[in-house]
Amino acid sequence: MEKKRIDDYEPGPVPSPRPLDRFGFVKQELNNSPDGLSKGRPASEYEREERRVRKWRKMIGVGGSDWKHYVRRKPHVVKRRIRKGIPDCLRGLVWQLISGSRDLLLMNPGVYEQLVIYETSASELDIIRDISRTFPSHVFFQQRHGPGQRSLYNVLKAYSVFDRDVGYVQGMGFLAGLLLLYMSEEDAFWLLVALLKGAVHAPMEGLYLVGLPLVQQYLFQFDHLMREHLPKLGEHFSQEMINPSMYASQWFITVFSYSFPFHLALRIWDVFLNEGVKIVFKVGLALLKYCVDDLVSKRLEELKQEYEEKNEKPVQSAEFKEKQKL
């Protein structure tokens, strides 16, 4: 039977218009969180943001032309400003600059088009099946087989051909989906390559290889750090037989893009792309420290029940589970 591609499917109906936050996600009822709600912001806040954007534009230059020179001259200024948060209107460009993906794009003209149009992947049906699970409440991805889902399919399919050892794992959809909200398909593809192949920092491909070797390594390291910095929690987790694979795998696999509030995930990604995976360890430990009193007062069953109420299901597709077994 001939395999179907995304282009063989007709786009589904356009979802009915609903109120969106400033990032494009459907607003939840009774949501008073600061994840993009802008009403009531004073004029001084807008003026401060404009000044910040002007500083960033001067630092970057036209199309990123001054970026490398500025980073060489004032690396500490760049690091400090990134930690304060990249202006949203410049985030896509800055992410490409700090990840090294812009250089990969310029060195490989036409490669992405070749991968999307002329190559085939063994993962195509798996990708089609999973794309509707990626940011389903975002307006860009809501239409079944619509422009957003097609772009996501193209990026994931292209990477599964580019690196057949990794292929495709469902968690990769959240990385690609997040990138597509800030850049074109081709730019998102090369940033995914930069991350997994290690253009600037340690390569991430081991998170998705057979056996998930890097996941296992990071969880082992995280467990030791947690016991060193939060010994009371470490002892409680030992008594309850709770290990990091039960709660932290998706932190590393999706870099907090799966279940974290979006405005916080963006700030994490700003620092992650500039400083590397250590930010995932730091945020994970900070999160446990913030919740430590609540965590040590509860048994495993109580924690599992709370987790299941707040999360639909872990990011583990059939391919992910199969790779984990192997």
State which fold the 100-200 domain adopts: Helicase, Ruva Protein; domain 3 (1.10.8)
Specify the CATH class of 213-309 in words.
Answer: mainly alpha
pLDDT for the residue numbered 24 = 92
pLDDT band at 16 (very low <50, low <70, confident <90, very high): low
Alpha-carbon distance of 29 to 179, in angstroms, equals 27
* Percentage, residues of the chain above pLDDT 90: 75
- According to DSSP, the residues that pair with 26 across neighbouring strands are 20
Place of tokens 């030992």: 238
Tokens found for residue 315: 């990011």
Tokens found for residue 238: 């030992």
- What's the N-to-C CA distance of the chain in angstroms? 28
Summarize the confidence of residues 63-73 as an average pLDDT: 93
Domain ranges in the chain are 50-84, 100-200, 213-309
The DSSP line for 238-297 is HHTT--GGGTTHHHHHHTTTTTS-HHHHHHHHHHHHHH-THHHHHHHHHHHHHTHHHHHT
Tally the C-alpha atoms within 13 A of residue 12's C-alpha that lie toward its C-beta. 12
- According to DSSP, the residues that pair with 20 across neighbouring strands are 26
Alpha-carbon distance of 15 to 26, in angstroms, equals 11
pLDDT band at 283 (very low <50, low <70, confident <90, very high): very high
Summarize the confidence of residues 174-188 as an average pLDDT: 97
Same fold, 100-200 and 213-309: no
Summarize the confidence of residues 215-236 as an average pLDDT: 97
For residue 27, pLDDT over 60 is answered with yes
